[in-house]
Structure formats: structure tokens, C-alpha cells
Amino acid sequence: MAEEKKEIGTGFITEVDRYLFNNGKHYEIYEKLGAHPRTYNKEEGMYFAVWAPHAKQIGVVGDFNGWNPDENPMTCLADSGIWEAFVPGLSTGALYKYAITTESGKLLFKADPYAFEAEYRPQTASVTADLSGYEWNDTSWMAKRKKADPMDGPVSIYEVHLGSWRKKNRDEKDGYYTYVEAAHELSDYVEQMGYTHVELLGIAEHPYDGSWGYQVTGYFAPTSRYGTAKEFMYFVDYMHQKGIGVILDWVPAHFPKDAHGLSDFDGKPCYEYSDPRKGEHPDWGTKVFDYSKYEVDNFLIANALYWVEKFHVDGLRVDAVASMLYLDYGRSDGEWVPNKHGRNENLEAIEFFKHLNSIIKDRGNGAMVIAEESTAWPKVTDDPKNDGLGFTFKWNMGWMHDFLEYMKLDPYFRKYNHHKMTFGLTYFTSEKYILVLSHDEVVHLKCSMIEKMPGLLEDKFSNLKVGYTFMLGHPGKKLLFMGQDFGQFHEWDEKTALDWYLADEPLGKDLKDYVRDLLHLYKEYPALYERDYDWEGFSWINANDSEQSIFSFVRYSKDKKDSLLFVLNFTPVERKNYRAGVPKKGSYHLVLNESHGLYQPEDKAPAVPSEEKEWDGKNYSIACPLKPYGVAVYRFKG
């Protein structure tokens, strides 16, 4: 009977399924591998399937069979490395693992790589779940997303760690908000502030809080810290109903060595490279995915599509891209293996990215894929047909570094570092960039954003206001980490909530209201987003006023109806007689400054007529008095 089952199997995984998976092209393999409610031989139960090509024997174990490896043995489907078993009478909510006997006879207990849910940490079992039956209410959002082009739309991202954004005063589950609770409170805040998207750190299941979700053991399981898989569906659904997109951080670069995870899954390197010079990150103590294996590529690409299509997420921010592209990343001489050309590019990872991004684009669902790539690797956001990697956007780490180095300086020394703020405008069209001030910049003794600023307390807040205004005007989409918009003083700590009381203090409230005004200004004026990667969308008025540390520039809309002039003073010195050149004759309407914030129509914003007085190489100019750390943004026609 056993031999007959080995030949025929249950039929749930077909020969076509096995062929596609073993060739890296079964993009819905999560519907086959893992645990799924099924009816077999007229009995209802749970079907299990796992890829473990080196295993000698496998049994499904759990709270339903006393964790006995012999109670529910699995059968290997010939020539595929896939094992399967059907457990009659079993339903959702059961705890389980795979008891894998290796070729050497060692017994391993592994969580299911394709599990849809996981046990609450520190426990490590997988949980049987059924994702069918959720009724989505975001049809209009998904239809709009499918047609939209994020390149010429507003994208302002609020980066969030759910576990520390807010906490409830309770001991249950560490005080975490559930996905449902967070959906309501977070969407209210994001909607009020004017962000277009939230980006969530660490949603895939991970054992260690301090990894922030970047060392994953359950790639298909939304972390149980905040609830169930269907409750996470509710989170995304509710955000969409409130007009807010959801981006997830995604980690195809590496995985931890925890005993229940992917490391040496069936007793041998399975998901990772077998050569430790390629298969391990020395600095991180983690394993590297083997992108030469079709089944591993299939696991990752199907996982990306799983979040996009099953959970309707609007984008994936791919972590640690550089570590995947370079074979010598974080490695000394003798610790890495050159490619077949004798160079340091990981050719398999490059092909993986081209495959991943091509498939997501070809599915036509409008999802973004964002590269956190920290080097000058070329064509990250170019089409794979042009030998690009195919990402939608790339984090602009160079801009972030230059911006923060400039902002940290005592204002007296800024005139000697003026180029740090202008350099980003020499290459802003080379990739499709997102300007980021992320969680990585406010941890590990780097100081919070407000504490990076020079001067006394009020100076710090004034610095941030003018700095954020420069960021808003600079071409590229935007990202701020939670707490940066109201002046969180402490470095971010995943164990504690943000100091929300600061948002009600005078300086914190003023900063938060000002950032809100910036974000609403951003969405109101297409000049700030629809030509982010077009030389015609940006023009300097004066990039060289280093002595006064003042920058002036224009952002143009496509129709030239409402363009914006920015004049920004990065010193605590008042410039009562400052004059700025303007592109044309006409009236320049003040729409935002540092003290009033955003002018509404009923506020009767001041209109400044141009004068026929040559300035900054222009035939016309306006008087533009600037207060210390003064900001002036003007609207004009043309």
C-alpha cells in the first residue's frame, strides 16, 4: 500500500505542479505546499506537503498526535523532493511541525516554511489555517491601483513598527495592538497627517523581537504578535478603505539559524548555499538563500506574490539588496567565492531580481517593489530588458547620508558644506528614488532625528522644519519613520512605545502640525510629485548661496499651471532684505512658511508681485524676507 501511494500520491499535487515548482515557475505553490483543509477519500481533514529533498523520512507531528513522528508519516512524491500526508479529522487551529529524519539518522523538528500562521513567540510551532472566505471591501482601491502609475503620483510613506508605535496598558501579549485595533488607530493618524502609505517593519513571523522582523522563520505567516492571518487581511482592507496604501518590508536576502527554521532544513543545506563562503553572512550570523536553486527562487517569488495577491499589499520594500548583489558583501579576502567571470557580482541573485520584478509587473496588479540598495549599482529601477533589475523605486541612501551630515552641522559650518545639499540634484534622474529618513537612522547610538539637530531646544525644532521642507521640495518620493514627525527625543526602541505625550507639547505639536501641512501641500500640488524623475520638473534659482546657506529652486508641474518656488534659510540669521530671482513676470502667492504653516484659501495668503530687477540670473525677482531658519514656498502660474 505504501509503495502504491508513493507512485500515485493523493493527487492534490499533480505532475504539472511538481514540474513547475522544480523549474521555479509555480507562482501559486503556497496553495499546494504547506497545510490546507481538504477532503480525501470522502473524509475531511488537513493535507500537508513540504519540500525536503534530502530527508530520509518525515512525519507530521502536533498537538493532535502527541508529537509522535510515527503517527502520521509522509510519503515522498517521486523525483520532486516533495513529501505529503493527509490527516483525517484535523481542522484549523492545530499546532504542528515536521519531524524530519535526516540521511544521517538525526531527528529534526521543523516549522512549516509555507505555514499561514505560527504559534505566539517564544513557542515555535506552525498553526493550521484556512485563508479562504475573507470578504474584501477594497474593490475600488484595487481597481485604481491597477491603473495608476506611482511614478507620477504622490507617495509619502509613514514607516511603522506596529509593536512599538503604540502600546496598550495591559499585560496580555506584551501590550501589543492587534491588527484590527492598529488598523483603526493608525489609519486615523495617517489620514490626519496626510501620508499616502504606511510601510510596516517585520510582519512575516520572526522569533526575536530585536531583529525587528528582519530574521524571518515564517515567510507566509503574518506574525502572531498582533493576531491571525485574516486579521491582517482586515488591516490591509481597512487601510485601503481609508485611502491608505500598505507596503511591507520583505527579506529575501537571508534567514536565521534558529533550529525550527529554514537552516539545514532537511539535515543538509536546502534553502541556503552549501558553501559557507556563499551561504553565510559572517557579520549577521545568518544564512543566505541559494538563488541557483529553482525551488528556492520559487519559494521567494511565490511569497512575494502571496503578500501582493492574497493580502492585497501595495508594495514590497526589499531589504538588504546590496548584500544579495555582491558576493563579497561583509566578507574579507578568502571568505567569498568569485563568480565565473572572476568578479564579485552574484549572477544568480541578479537573475532572481529580474525574474521577480518581471513577474510582479507582468501580473498587472500595480504593486510596487522597492530596493533598499546602498551602493551605486547601476540600473536598479531600469527594465530587465535594458539589463536593469526592474525595481519600481530605489531608496536614495546617498541623499539621506548627505542630508543628515549637513543637518547635524552647526549652522556656521554649513556654508563650507553647501554641496552636500546640492549634490543629490546632479543625479536625481538616474534612478526612480525615494528620499528616506528611516528607522536605521535613529538607532544604535545614531540619536533620534531631533537630537541630531544642532542648537538649543527651539533651534532643533526649527532645523527640522526647514530640513523637512527641503526634503519635500527635492525630487523623489518621501519616507519618514514614526516619531520623526513630532520630535521623538529617545532613539527608537522596539520594546517601548513612542513618547506620544511629546506630540501634545508646544514644540512637538507645532512640528507635527507643520509636517501635516507639508504632507497636505505635497498632495495638493502635482508639481511636487508628477515630474520627480524629469529634468524639466526641477530648476535651481540659486544653488550657490553658500555664504548665507540659502537654497532657492522651482518645482514645475506638467501643465505649468501651478508651479512652486522654494526659498529656504538654513541659519539662525534673519535675512530681512533677501531677494530671489523668479522664472517669469507675475504674482507669487505665499502658500507656506515656517510660522504659519500651510495657508488655506480663507487665510488670504500674501501675494508678492515680481519686479523687473535682475537677480540670480533671472530678469525678474521678488523681495523675500526670511526669518531665522525661515521657509517661504510660493505658488505661481507657469
Q: Could you tell me if 299 and 182 lie in one domain?
A: yes
Cell numbers of 425, please? Answer: 540634484
* Structure-model confidence comparison of residues 299 and 169, the more confident one: 299
CATH of the domain at 550: 2.60.40.1180
Q: Determine the Cα angle at 305 with ends 301 and 307, to 5°.
A: 120
**pLDDT average, residue stretch 459-468:** 98
CB neighbour class for 26 (10 Å; exposed up to 12, middle 13-18, buried from 19): buried
124 in any annotated domain: no
Q: What is the pTM of this model?
A: 0.95
What are the tens digits of pLDDT across the range 540-558? 999 999 999 999 999 999 9
- Residue pLDDT, tens place only, 256-303: 999 999 999 999 999 999 999 999 998 899 999 999 999 999 999 999
**410 annotated active-site:** no
Residues in the chain: 638
Q: Are residues 246 and 356 in the same domain?
A: yes
User: What pLDDT was estimated at residue 172?
Assistant: 65
Distance of CA 59 to the CA centre of its chain: 37
Query: Cell 572572476 sits at which residue?
Result: 342
The CATH code of the domain that includes 48 is: 2.60.40.10
Q: Do residue 347 and residue 230 come from a single domain?
A: yes
Query: 86: number of CA atoms within 13 Å, CB side?
Result: 17
Cα-based distances in Å from 240 to 143, 179, 183, 314, 484: 11, 14, 10, 10, 24
Q: Report the C-alpha gap between 473 and 637 in whole angstroms.
A: 17
- Find the mean pLDDT for residues 241-254: 98
Residue 387 in any domain: the answer is: yes
**In angstroms, how far is CA 460 from the centroid of its own chain?**
28
pLDDT of residue 170: 59
Q: In terms of domains, do 178 and 255 share one?
A: yes
Question: Is position 319 annotated as part of the catalytic site?
Answer: yes
Q: Is residue 168 part of a domain?
A: yes
> In this structure, is residue 512 part of a structural domain?
no
Q: What is the mean pLDDT of the segment spanning 46-51?
A: 98
Strands 107-110 and 95-101: antiparallel
Q: Is residue 57 part of a domain?
A: yes
Q: Are residues 212 and 322 in the same domain?
A: yes
Instruction: Identify whether the C-beta of residue 113 lies closer than 8 Å to the C-beta of residue 143.
Output: no
Assess whether pLDDT exceeds 90 at residue 2.
Answer: no
- CATH code assigned at 166: 3.20.20.80
CA 546 to chain centre: 35
pLDDT band, very low/low/confident/very high, at 3 (cuts 50, 70, 90): very low
Question: What average pLDDT does this structure show over 355-383?
Answer: 96
The three cell numbers of residue 577 are 532684505
H or E segment at 511?
helix 506-524
Domain end, chosen from 50, 85, 110, is at 110
Judge if 171 and 283 occupy the same domain: yes
Looking at the structure, tell me whether residues 99 and 180 fall in a common domain: no
- Kindly report the average pLDDT of the chain as a whole number: 95
DSSP 3-state helix, strand, coil percentages of the chain (rounded to 5)? 30, 25, 45
Sequence-distant (≥ 6) Cβ neighbours of residue 21 within 8 angstroms: 29, 32, 33, 51, 80, 82, 294, 295, 298
Catalytic residue (one of 272, 372, 485, 530): 372
In a domain, 580, yes or no: yes
Q: Do residues 106 and 197 share a domain?
A: no
- pLDDT tens string 411-442: 999 999 999 999 999 999 999 999 999 999 99
pLDDT score for 605? 74
Catalytic residue among 112, 249, 297, 319: 319
- Determine the 3-state secondary structure of 132 from DSSP: coil
How do residues 485-529 score in pLDDT, each as one tens digit?
Answer: 999 999 999 999 999 999 999 999 999 999 999 999 999 999 999
252 with 388, same domain: the answer is: yes
Percent of the chain whose predicted confidence (pLDDT) is above 70 = 98
User: What per-residue confidence (pLDDT) applies to 7?
Assistant: 40
CB 569 within 8 A of CB 631: yes
Segment 41-68 shows an average pLDDT of: 97
Q: Which domain holds residue 74?
A: 2-110
Of residues 572, 567, 282, the one with CA closest to residue 414: 572
- Checking if the pLDDT of 311 tops 90, the result is yes
Residue 583: name the closest of 558, 619, 536, 607 by CA. Answer: 619
Reported as half-sphere exposure (CB side, CA atoms, 13 A), residue 554 has a value of 23
Are both 256 and 311 inside the same structural domain?
yes
Instruction: Check if the beta carbon of residue 109 is closer than 8 Å to that of residue 61.
Output: yes
Query: Are residues 206 and 349 located together in one domain of the fold?
Result: yes
Tell me what pLDDT residue 596 has: 87
Residues 26 and 88 in one domain: yes
Whether 189 is in a domain gets the answer yes
pLDDT category at 391 given cuts 50, 70, 90 is very high
Contact 21, 297 (CB under 8 A): no
Average pLDDT over residues 560-575: 95
> In this model, does residue 193 exceed pLDDT 80?
yes
Report yes or no on 134 lying in a domain. no
For 174-186, what is the mean pLDDT? Answer: 95
Structural domains counted in the chain:
3
Residue 79's pLDDT is: 82
Residue located via cell numbers 521567494: 300
